[in-house]
Amino acid sequence: MKKFIIPIAAVLLLTACEKQIDIDIEEQEPLVVMHSFATPDNPLYVDLTMSRPVFGWHSSDEGSINSPFPPVENATVTLVVEGAGNYTATRDSNRYTFPYTPQSGDRMQLRVDVPGHETLTASTTMPQPPSLGQVSYEAAEDNYGEQYLIIHVPLNDPAGEENYYSFQINITRYYYPQFDAEGNLVNYESVSTETNWINCNDQFVVENNVSDIFMDDPGSMPEFWGNTLFFTDRLLNGISHTIDLKTNYLQVNNNNLYTVAELVATSYSREEYYFHATEKQLNDVDEIISIFSEPSTAYSNVNGGAGAFGAHCTQVIEFLRN
């Protein structure tokens, strides 16, 4: 009798029919969502929207539709900058803009009042730009004849404070305008920019990159691969250290072409760094996460609602032009 158990079970599995199961998901009251990432290059702005139900539906004058997050149109948004005064934002769509451009060292607090909702507050500090020495590079080829660059980045980390950084490498190829024999313009200048991948095995950096925030064993990653290297100064605090970055590089032999390579170095407030940290974690696991997994959320420093208020300061250094 036992020999028939497996075939019968297999038939039952193969002939099982689908059944629709209704899941009762309790609807939550919508939250006001605030996002603002200050820079010293532009006036401070705040984007305000309402949260949506888990399946993305919300009501409008045209009925229930699946559309972007509804904008908040009736908020009062104020900014307090320590030692610099108070400011009120003006609205354009869901964006509220202040007549104030943040400066390095500014301690800022946002307050958002929306009728019928709890007051939102959040604070951050504008960091200093990254302190870098003379960036240099060397070109090389691997065993397969592929070209690459090694970029040497001297970082001078301030002592006695927490600092948060990222590095990117952008390579732009410019095509000169072409003229015919009579001097008539034939082709306009065109531009192509790419953010290159980075390889880094510097343990001072790799052992403190963004992934370690979520690891039980920080420093378990032997090297970094990706387009943006996020890291902290946990092992670099107060020292000067040269970080080597490796990236691919294709030297095109064309008289009508020149190439510019730039290092994009950014320092972050703690709040914005941790927002990007959780954002990266969610993106990394997006393809393998189960619909039955426990939901994960991005970092938020907003009291009374959701979202994030942070600041960053970017320095762009050209290190190659040919």
Question: Which pLDDT does position 291 carry in this prediction?
Answer: 46
Q: pLDDT category, 258, cuts 50, 70, 90?
A: confident
Lowest mean pLDDT among 3-17, 59-73, 88-102: 3-17
pLDDT at 287 exceeding the cut of 50 = no
- What tokens appear for 29 in the block? 């009251």
Question: Which pLDDT does position 218 carry in this prediction?
Answer: 44
Question: Which pLDDT does position 165 carry in this prediction?
Answer: 96
Domain ranges (residues) in the chain: 32-125, 136-288+312-321
Distances, alpha carbon 50 to alpha carbons 34, 44, 82, 226, in Å? 9, 20, 29, 33
Q: Please give the angle made by the CA atoms of 219, 136 and 134, to the nearest 5 degrees.
A: 90
Q: Which of 12-21, 80-89, 200-209 has the highest mean pLDDT?
A: 80-89
- What tokens appear for 258 in the block? 């020149």
- Taking the complete model, does pTM exceed 0.85, yes or no? no
Question: Which pLDDT does position 20 carry in this prediction?
Answer: 56
Query: What are the pLDDT digits (tens) for 176-213?
Result: 777 778 877 666 666 778 899 999 999 888 877 765 44
Question: Which pLDDT does position 292 carry in this prediction?
Answer: 46
Looking at domain 32-125, which CATH architecture does it have? Sandwich (2.60)
Rg of the chain in Å (alpha carbons): 26
Question: Within 10 Å of residue 287's Cβ, how many Cβ atoms?
Answer: 6
Q: Please give the angle made by the CA atoms of 315, 209 and 143, to the nearest 5 degrees.
A: 85
pLDDT at 296 exceeding the cut of 80 = no
Question: Which pLDDT does position 58 carry in this prediction?
Answer: 46
Question: Which pLDDT does position 272 carry in this prediction?
Answer: 95
Question: Which pLDDT does position 28 carry in this prediction?
Answer: 65
Q: Who has greater pLDDT, 218 or 37?
A: 37
DSSP state of 94: T
What percent of the chain clears pLDDT 70, i.e. is strictly above it?
73
Lowest mean pLDDT among 101-115, 124-138, 278-292, 306-320: 278-292
Question: Which pLDDT does position 310 carry in this prediction?
Answer: 97
Q: pLDDT category, 39, cuts 50, 70, 90?
A: very high
Mean pLDDT across the chain: 81
Lowest mean pLDDT among 93-107, 183-197, 294-308: 183-197
pLDDT at 66 exceeding the cut of 60 = no
Question: Which pLDDT does position 56 carry in this prediction?
Answer: 53
pLDDT at 104 exceeding the cut of 70 = yes
Distances, alpha carbon 309 to alpha carbons 105, 108, 162, 178, 312, in Å? 15, 10, 18, 47, 11
pLDDT at 260 exceeding the cut of 80 = yes
Question: Which pLDDT does position 26 carry in this prediction?
Answer: 54
Question: Within 10 Å of residue 228's Cβ, how many Cβ atoms?
Answer: 18
